[in-house]
């Protein structure tokens, strides 16, 4: 650790031999930091998982250069991950507050069902009815999100229980209002644009929508006060409350946002599949949570990135696609994703433990260069 | 003697049938370090909570610069220039020192409708560095999470934050309890510097040597009541311990 040696020398020169590790002046610290600004990115868990994704892509590309490593195949993978991407943004915010939202899949179905019924009742095939449908879907998703948020923040019921309850309620209500039969009348303007339309010669519109949601989500999380308060609440609710952050209101907003995004996903799903697919979303919540966690967001709150979530989404998606193409039984995907998930949480545990000890949080160092001294 | 910046007259607060504060008087003067001492359960923390807006009082009045006020939220106290460093520090461990410093009071760039405005991190970092430097606080890094820092550094950040925002009164609840010798020296030095800026410092401690070293005035609590208010120059440790335990009485208010 040449770094430490250098520090020690400077310290002795400035403060005399008895100065310990705590008396490093701020100016020196800043100087040291600016030197190591670039490697900081490489230490992030999201970046490490990104490397894993690249490795997976390279392996499949070598195994199936003519089928896997084609633009059309890549396009398919991206298109299939788009809906989960929209849900993942909301879920990332929620998990950073140290909460969880199990209801996203059901809320997606509920919003789709209500929206489809309203559009069927209004009738027509144009953008007018589609706009009404989109607004209805987002509003019903938002309503479920606010319902979750109110119970979690005001009634103090744990998020796991509240959203497990609303998972059942939203799905049940969706089945009650449809009588359990999927609605298949979706305005053709939705299916032909959002569903399978392309822009710029081959980029699916549904993926463009997801990308916009992701970019806005990343901006809000990393650059605004709203995002900072999300981290602060997940890190220490008490600390946030004491400095005047309106914790309850913020949690309601975060769950509301996740619900509204589930509403958006409901419209995307309706457009893509031309059906409400009531039974088709039972695994969605777990897939989204797995993606967020694989992406390095800590289930204990206070830590996470939108970039990580996007990468975390593509690992299962690429594995599934790659296994099918290379002729491996696709069931292996579930096994592989399970293993990646556990590995990701293990990595988070290691990181948190070393952070608590005040040690370096770099994983490379943890795995490859165990320190001999101290 | 000038007028007190913050004054409590006859305040009481009961939890069930335990009277945590019992007709208590207390005052702090600008530019002075007031030590608040007492045995466990004497009411020190309850008093600090009441005077920092964290706890409502049952009876009695609180006056701030001569005017009677109602303190119901910590935000109200902050607006008056009263800040508190709690024993648990109340820092968010995943955020860095700058984010903690400005949490709830971020400096914003002009944005759209205020909500989508971005934070001016550069200005906040610059100002934080100045605040840490001013206190001689030794913060290793402005961009590492606070949770990865030592107890002394976290203490320094918490104190720097309180001092940065307080321009009238700072409450320090056991700021030296978990610190080593050198860090304790830093904190006591910081207390003096804050006082020299004209801010009233209320220093709560169990350590009589620290109290004697840094205070101008010492107020002793016993069983929710003020047992004595003394000038630090004309008392000694034996007397203070006697007053805390009730073995002796003097100058009771």
Is the CB of B182 less than 8 angstroms away from the CB of A23?
Answer: yes
- Confirm whether A20 is domain-assigned: no
- Given a cut of 90, is residue A143 above it in pLDDT? yes
The DSSP letter of residue A364 is H
Task: Report domain extents, chain B.
Answer: 1-81+166-253, 94-164
- Confirm whether A322 is domain-assigned: yes
Inter-residue contact A303 to A349 (CB < 8 Å) = no
Number of inter-chain CB pairs under 8 A, A vs B:
108
Strand-pair category, B217-222 with B33-38: parallel
Q: How far is CA A272 from CA A82, A138, A286, B177, in A?
A: 11, 17, 21, 62
- Confirm whether A8 is domain-assigned: no
Inter-residue contact B219 to B36 (CB < 8 Å) = yes
Section B105-110 average pLDDT: 77
Angle at A98 between CA B107 and CA A162, to 5 degrees: 120
**Total of domains in chain A:** 1
Q: How far is CA A181 from CA A110, A173, A174, A191, A272, in A?
A: 13, 12, 10, 20, 18
Confidence at residue A107, expressed as pLDDT on a 0 to 100 scale: 96
- Confirm whether A291 is domain-assigned: yes
Would you place residue B138 in the very low, low, confident or very high pLDDT band (cuts 50, 70, 90)? low
Nearest-CA distance A256 → chain B (Å)? 16
Confidence at residue A312, expressed as pLDDT on a 0 to 100 scale: 92
Of the given ranges (A19-23, A38-42, B37-41, B150-154), which has the lowest mean pLDDT? A19-23
CATH homologous superfamily of B1-81+166-253: P-loop containing nucleotide triphosphate hydrolases (3.40.50.300)
The gap from C-alpha A75 to its chain's centroid, in whole angstroms, comes to 20
User: With the CA atoms of A16, A18, A24 and A25 taken in that order, what torsion angle do they form, in degrees rounded to the nearest 10?
Assistant: -50
Average pLDDT of chain B is 83
- Given a cut of 80, is residue A234 above it in pLDDT? yes
* Largest distance between two CA atoms of chain B: 65
Confidence at residue A37, expressed as pLDDT on a 0 to 100 scale: 46
Q: Name which residue leads in pLDDT, B70 or A249.
A: A249
Is the CB of A244 less than 8 angstroms away from the CB of B91?
Answer: no
How many angstroms separate the CA atoms of A196 and A238, rounded? 47
Inter-residue contact B146 to B93 (CB < 8 Å) = yes
- Closest CA in chain B for residue A357: B148
- Confirm whether A10 is domain-assigned: no
Q: Is A231 on the interface with B (CB under 8 A)?
A: yes
Q: What are phi and psi of A112, to 5 degrees?
A: -60, -45
How many angstroms separate the CA atoms of A232 and A236, rounded? 6
Would you place residue A230 in the very low, low, confident or very high pLDDT band (cuts 50, 70, 90)? very high
Helix (H, G, I), strand (E, B) or coil at B61: strand
- Given a cut of 90, is residue A137 above it in pLDDT? yes
Confidence at residue A358, expressed as pLDDT on a 0 to 100 scale: 52
Choosing among A22, A31, A359, which should be mutated to test the B contact, i.e. which has the most B CBs within 10 A?
A: A22
Confidence at residue A337, expressed as pLDDT on a 0 to 100 scale: 84
- Given a cut of 90, is residue A159 above it in pLDDT? yes
Q: Name which residue leads in pLDDT, B182 or A68.
A: A68
- Confirm whether A278 is domain-assigned: yes
Choosing among B76, B137, B138, B144, which should be mutated to test the A contact, i.e. which has the most A CBs within 10 A?
A: B138
Buried b (16+ CB within 10 A) or exposed e, A343-367: ebeebbeebbebbeebebbbbeebe
Tell me the CATH number at A235: 1.10.3470
Would you place residue A100 in the very low, low, confident or very high pLDDT band (cuts 50, 70, 90)? very high
**Which chain B residues are Cβ-neighbours of A365 within 8 angstroms?**
none
Q: Where are the beta strands (DSSP E) in B18-158?
A: 18-28, 33-38, 59-64, 67-69, 82-85
Among candidates A318, A358, A287, which has minimal Cα distance to B154?
A358
Inter-residue contact B42 to B67 (CB < 8 Å) = no
* DSSP string across A248-270: HHHHHHHHHHHHHHHHHHHHHHH
- Confirm whether A14 is domain-assigned: no
Choosing among A235, A238, A257, which should be mutated to test the B contact, i.e. which has the most B CBs within 10 A?
A: A235
Would you place residue A355 in the very low, low, confident or very high pLDDT band (cuts 50, 70, 90)? low
Would you place residue B64 in the very low, low, confident or very high pLDDT band (cuts 50, 70, 90)? confident
Inter-residue contact B91 to B157 (CB < 8 Å) = yes
Is the CB of B138 less than 8 angstroms away from the CB of A24?
Answer: yes
Would you place residue B126 in the very low, low, confident or very high pLDDT band (cuts 50, 70, 90)? confident
Q: How far is CA A324 from CA A68, A71, A333, in A?
A: 10, 17, 9
The DSSP letter of residue A71 is H
Is the CB of A22 less than 8 angstroms away from the CB of B147?
Answer: no
Could you give the ipTM of this predicted complex?
0.82
Of the given ranges (A41-45, A205-209, A306-310, A361-365), which has the lowest mean pLDDT? A361-365
Sign of the Cα pseudo-torsion (A92, A93, A98, A104, in order): negative
Among candidates B127, B108, B4, B145, which has minimal Cα distance to B63?
B4
Would you place residue A343 in the very low, low, confident or very high pLDDT band (cuts 50, 70, 90)? confident
Is the CB of B140 less than 8 angstroms away from the CB of A245?
Answer: no
- Closest CA in chain B for residue A27: B129
Confidence at residue A15, expressed as pLDDT on a 0 to 100 scale: 39
Q: Name which residue leads in pLDDT, B101 or A37.
A: B101
Confidence at residue A211, expressed as pLDDT on a 0 to 100 scale: 95
Name the residue among B99, B138, B141 with its Cβ closest to that of A228: B99
**Which chain B residues are Cβ-neighbours of A300 within 8 angstroms?**
none
Of the given ranges (A45-49, A116-120, A339-343), which has the lowest mean pLDDT? A45-49
Q: Please give the residue range of the domain that contains residue A342.
A: 50-346
Strand-pair category, B200-204 with B217-222: unpaired
Q: Please enumerate residues of B whose Cβ is less than 8 A from a Cβ of A.
A: 74-75, 78, 86, 88, 90-95, 99-100, 103-106, 108, 111, 115-119, 129, 132-133, 137-143, 145, 147-150, 152-153, 182-183
How many angstroms separate the CA atoms of B26 and B42, rounded? 14
Inter-residue contact B94 to A234 (CB < 8 Å) = yes
| Contacts with A48 (C-beta within 8 Å, 6 or more apart), sequence order | A296, A347, A363
- Given a cut of 90, is residue A101 above it in pLDDT? yes
Confidence at residue B111, expressed as pLDDT on a 0 to 100 scale: 61
- Closest CA in chain B for residue A226: B115
Confidence at residue A6, expressed as pLDDT on a 0 to 100 scale: 43
Long-range contacts of B237-243 (CB under 8 A, 24+ apart): B237/B208, B237/B209, B237/B212, B240/B37, B240/B208, B240/B211, B241/B208
Q: Name which residue leads in pLDDT, B247 or B231.
A: B231
Q: Is A22 on the interface with B (CB under 8 A)?
A: yes
For residue A26, the tally of other CB atoms under 10 A from its CB is 20
Section B6-23 average pLDDT: 86
Section A341-369 average pLDDT: 66
Inter-residue contact B190 to B159 (CB < 8 Å) = yes
Confidence at residue A38, expressed as pLDDT on a 0 to 100 scale: 45
């Amino acid at each position: 650790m040449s770094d430490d040696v250098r520090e020690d020398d400077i310290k002795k020169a400035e403060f005399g031999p008895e100065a310990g590790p705590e008396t490093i002046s701020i100016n020196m610290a800043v100087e040291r930091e600016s030197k190591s600004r670039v490697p900081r990115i490489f230490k992030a868990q999201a970046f490490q998982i990104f490397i894993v994704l690249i490795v997976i892509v390279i392996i499949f590309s070598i195994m199936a250069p003519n089928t896997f490593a084609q633009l059309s195949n890549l396009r398919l993978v991206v298109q299939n991950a788009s809906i989960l991407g929209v849900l993942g943004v909301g879920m990332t915010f929620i998990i950073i507050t140290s909460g969880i939202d199990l209801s996203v899949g059901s809320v997606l179905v509920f919003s789709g069902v209500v929206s489809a019924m309203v559009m069927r009742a209004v009738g027509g095939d144009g953008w007018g009815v589609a706009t009404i449908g989109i607004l209805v879907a987002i509003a019903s998703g938002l309503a479920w999100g606010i319902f979750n948020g109110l119970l979690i923040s005001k009634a103090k019921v744990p998020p796991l229980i509240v959203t497990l309850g609303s998972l059942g309620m939203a799905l049940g209500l969706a089945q009650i209002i449809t009588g359990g039969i999927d609605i298949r009348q979706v305005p053709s303007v939705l299916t032909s644009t959002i569903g399978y339309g392309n822009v710029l010669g081959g980029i699916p519109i549904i993926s463009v929508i997801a990308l916009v949601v992701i970019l806005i989500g990343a901006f809000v999380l990393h650059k605004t006060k709203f995002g900072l308060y999300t981290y602060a609440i997940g890190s220490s609710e008490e600390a946030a409350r004491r400095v005047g952050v309106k914790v309850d209101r913020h949690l309601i907003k975060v769950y509301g946002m996740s619900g509204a995004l589930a509403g958006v996903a409901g419209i995307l799903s309706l457009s893509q599949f031309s059906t409400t697919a009531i039974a088709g979303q039972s695994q969605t919540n777990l897939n989204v949570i797995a993606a967020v966690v694989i992406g390095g967001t800590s289930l204990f709150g206070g830590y996470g990135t939108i970039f990580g979530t996007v990468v975390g989404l593509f690992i299962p998606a690429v594995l599934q696609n790659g296994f099918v193409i290379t002729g491996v039984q696709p069931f292996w995907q579930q096994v592989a994703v399970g293993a990646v998930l556990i590995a990701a949480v293990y990595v988070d545990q290691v990181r948190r433990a070393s952070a608590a000890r005040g040690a370096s949080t770099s994983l490379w160092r943890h795995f490859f260069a165990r320190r001999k001294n101290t | 003697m000038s007028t007190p910046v913050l004054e409590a007259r006859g305040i009481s607060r009961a939890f069930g049938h335990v009277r945590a504060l019992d007709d208590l008087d207390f005052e702090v003067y600008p530019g002075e370090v007031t030590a608040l001492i007492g045995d466990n359960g004497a009411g020190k923390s309850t008093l600090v909570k009441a005077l920092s807006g964290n706890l409502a009082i049952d009876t009695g009045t609180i006056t701030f610069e001569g005017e009677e006020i109602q303190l119901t939220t910590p935000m109200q106290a902050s607006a008056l220039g009263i800040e508190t460093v709690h024993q648990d520090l109340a820092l968010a461990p995943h955020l860095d020192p700058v984010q903690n410093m400005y949490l709830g009071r971020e400096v914003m760039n002009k944005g759209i409708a205020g909500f989508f405005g971005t934070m001016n991190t550069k200005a906040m970092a610059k100002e934080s560095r100045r605040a840490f430097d001013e206190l001689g606080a030794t913060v290793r890094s402005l961009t590492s999470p606070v949770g990865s820092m030592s107890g002394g550094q976290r203490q320094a950040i918490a104190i720097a934050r309180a001092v940065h925002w307080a321009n009238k009164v700072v409450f320090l609840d056991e700021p030296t309890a978990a610190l080593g010798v050198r860090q304790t020296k830093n904190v006591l030095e910081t207390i003096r510097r804050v006082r020299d800026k004209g801010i009233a410092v209320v220093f709560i401690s169990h350590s009589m040597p620290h109290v004697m070293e840094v205070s101008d005035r010492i107020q002793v609590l016993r069983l929710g009541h003020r047992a004595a208010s003394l000038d630090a120059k004309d008392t000694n440790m034996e007397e203070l311990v006697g007053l805390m335990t009730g073995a002796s009485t003097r100058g009771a208010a």
